[in-house]
Structure 1
Amino acid sequence: MATHKFKTETVNEYIVKWLRDYAANAKVKGFVVGISGGIDSAVTSTLCAQTGLPTLCVEMPIHQAKSQVSRGREHIQQLKERFDNVSSAEADLTPVFETFRKEVPETDNQYLQDLTLANTRARLRMTTLYYFAGINSALIAGTGNKVEDFGVGFFTKYGDGGVDLSPIADLMKSEVRELAKYLQVPQSIITAKPTDGLFGDDRSDEDQLGASYDELEWAMREAEKGRKHDEFEGREKEVFNIYLRLNSINQHKMNPIPVCEIPPNLK
C-alpha cells in the first residue's frame, strides 16, 4: 500500500553506508544478526553483509517449526555463497528454555502464561545474541520494521527489541519487501506468512494482530495525517481501531524508560 515510489537502490546504499559509519565510530569489528527465517532478518543480515564487515548470522531454535528453520538455513547458505565476510552459528536454546520453565511457577491464567513464555523465548535469544556480540566485538543489528517498532509495538521489550542499532526501523513492511527483492532474498522467505515463531505453532503475525501489515501500514499513514476513527467505515474503521488500540497500549515499549526526576529542593 505504499503511496510513493520507493528508491530501492538509493535506500540500500544509504543504509549500508550508515551501518559502516556507525561501526567505525563505535570501533567494533562487525555485526551479529538473529536469523528467524523471516523477511526482516533476511534483509537486515544482507545489508550488514554488504558493508564488508564480519557479519555473524545466529540461529536460536526453541521448539522451532521446521519450515522456519529451513528458510533460515537457506538464507544463510545463500548469504555465505555471496559474501565471504558472512559466518554462522547455531545455539539450540530449547534445553535452556525448558530448564527455565521448570524453575518458574505456573499460573491458572493460561493466556498470560503462554504470552509470558513467548516473550521469555525472545529474551533468551537477546541474551544469546549479546554473548555472540561480546566475544566478537560486534554490534547487534535489530530486525524490526517501522510498523512493528513505532506503529503497533509488535516486539518483545528487551527481547527482539534489545538491540544496538536498527537499520530497517524507518522502513514500512512494503518497503522491506521491495528491498528484499532487490537484495535477492530467497523467494521462499519473501512469500512466507510473517510470524514471530514464539508460540511453537503456526500462528501468523496477522493472526495475533488482527490485521495484515499492509492494512496496518495504511492505518499508520492515516494516523500520521491526523485522521480519526469516525472518518472510516467497515473494515477500514476496524483496522484503524486495531492500530490505535495497539499503538496506545504499547507506548511503554516505544518510549524511553520513565525516570522519576526528583525536584532539586528535595535533594
Structure 2
Amino acid sequence: MQTEKIIEKIVTWLRDYAEAANVKGYIIGVSGGVDSGVVSTLCAMTGLKLLAVEMPIRQPHDQVSRALEHLEFLKNKFPNVETKSIDLNEPFEALYKTFDVHDEDFPGEKLAFANTRSRLRMLTLYYYGQINGLLVCGTGNKVEDFGVGFFTKYGDGGVDVSPIADLYKTEVYELARNLDLPESIKNAIPTDGLWDQERTDEQQIGATYPELEKIQKEWGKKSESDYSGRNLEVFKIFQRMNRAAQHKIQPIPVCDIPEDWR
C-alpha cells in the first residue's frame, strides 16, 4: 500500500472539493476512534479551517479521554484547527423522556434510540457547520459504508464528503501509523459509541474487520459454496448484513413518472 501517495491524494481531494464548493473548510466529529482520528488529521493537513468537535452522549470515560487527547494533538500540530466539546447528554435525555423509551415494550426500540445518538450528533455538526461555512466530513470506511452497512442512516451516514470510504479498515490503520497519531487512537478498538454498555464492532457484527474485508474483496467473484468453516460463517454474516443494508448503501430511490403522463 502506497500510504504517502494515498494521504497526499486525499488531502488534495479535500482541499479542491472545499475550494470548488466555496466553503472555508470542514467540520468533523471526533469520537476517539481511528477513523475520525485519521480523517480529522487529513482535513487539518489541507490548511483549510477545521472545526473538530467532541460530542459525548453517555460515553465511557476511555472514549472521552481519547477524543480529548486527539483534539489536543490536532490543536498543537495544526494552527488552522479549532476544537469544541459539546455535551449532548442533556438534549439526549430530553429526547429519551419525550419519546417515552421503554426497551422492553418494543424489540426495535433500543436500536432505534441508539441510532438517535448518531442523528443528534449529525444535527449538531450541520448546525455548527452551516454557521461557520464548513462542510461535514464523514469518517466511514469501505466495509462500513459499502460492505455491511455498519452506520446510521442520516446519522454518521449524513455527511457532505467521504474521504476514506474507498479504504478498508486495515488500510485506515496503516494511514494512522504513517500520520503518527496518538498511540491511544492508533490502538483504539473499533466501537460505534451508541450504547450505554460499550459494545465493540466485532461483538455487534460477529466478525473482525480483516475477516469482513476478505469476503468483500471476493464479493461477486465467489459464492457460498466456495467457503467452509470460519470463512463460511463470515460470508453468511456479510451476506445477511449487506442485503439488509441496501436501503442505506444505494442512492435514495426515485419513482420516475413517464413524460407522457405530465
Using the size of structure 1 for normalisation, the TM-score is 0.95
Could you tell me how far 1:261 is from its partner in structure 2?
1.3
Partner of residue 18 from structure 2, selected from 14, 23, 46: 23
Question: Tell me, what secondary structure is at the counterpart of 1:80?
Answer: helix
Alpha-carbon separation, structure 1, partners of 2:97 and 2:197 = 20
Q: What letter matches 1:148 in structure 2?
A: E
Specify the alignment match of 1:59 in structure 2: 54
Partner of residue 128 from structure 1, selected from 124, 129, 144: 124
Question: Tell me, what secondary structure is at the counterpart of 1:88?
Answer: strand
Specify the alignment match of 1:264 in structure 2: 259
Using the size of structure 2 for normalisation, the TM-score is 0.97
Following TM superposition, the consecutive aligned residue runs of length 4 or more in structure 1 with deviations greater than 3 angstroms are 105-111
Question: Tell me, what secondary structure is at the counterpart of 1:143?
Answer: coil
Q: What letter matches 1:123 in structure 2?
A: R
Specify the alignment match of 1:161 in structure 2: 157
For residues 53-202 of structure 1, what are the structure 2 equivalents within 5 Å?
53-106=48-101, 108-202=104-198
Alpha-carbon separation, structure 1, partners of 2:9 and 2:53 = 25
Alpha-carbon separation, structure 2, partners of 1:189 and 1:202 = 17
State the number of aligned residues.
261
Q: What letter matches 1:23 in structure 2?
A: A
Specify the alignment match of 1:11 in structure 2: 6
Q: What letter matches 2:175 in structure 1?
A: L
Q: What letter matches 1:128 in structure 2?
A: T
Give 5+ residue unaligned stretches, structure 1: 1-5
Alpha-carbon separation, structure 2, partners of 1:186 and 1:198 = 23
Question: Tell me, what secondary structure is at the counterpart of 1:32?
Answer: strand
Specify the alignment match of 2:208 in structure 1: 212
Alpha-carbon separation, structure 2, partners of 1:31 and 1:176 = 19
Specify the alignment match of 1:252 in structure 2: 247
Question: Tell me, what secondary structure is at the counterpart of 1:123?
Answer: helix
Question: Tell me, what secondary structure is at the counterpart of 1:163?
Answer: coil
- Please give the root-mean-square deviation of Cα atoms over the aligned residues, in Å: 1.1
Q: Is the 8 A contact 1:46 1:79 kept in 2?
A: yes
Q: What letter matches 2:76 in structure 1?
A: E
Matched, 1:240 2:235: yes
Alpha-carbon separation, structure 2, partners of 1:111 and 1:92 = 28
Alpha-carbon separation, structure 2, partners of 1:111 and 1:61 = 25
Identical counterparts, % of pairs: 55
Could you tell me how far 1:109 is from its partner in structure 2?
4.2
Alpha-carbon separation, structure 1, partners of 2:105 and 2:164 = 36
Give 5+ residue unaligned stretches, structure 2: none
Specify the alignment match of 2:224 in structure 1: 229
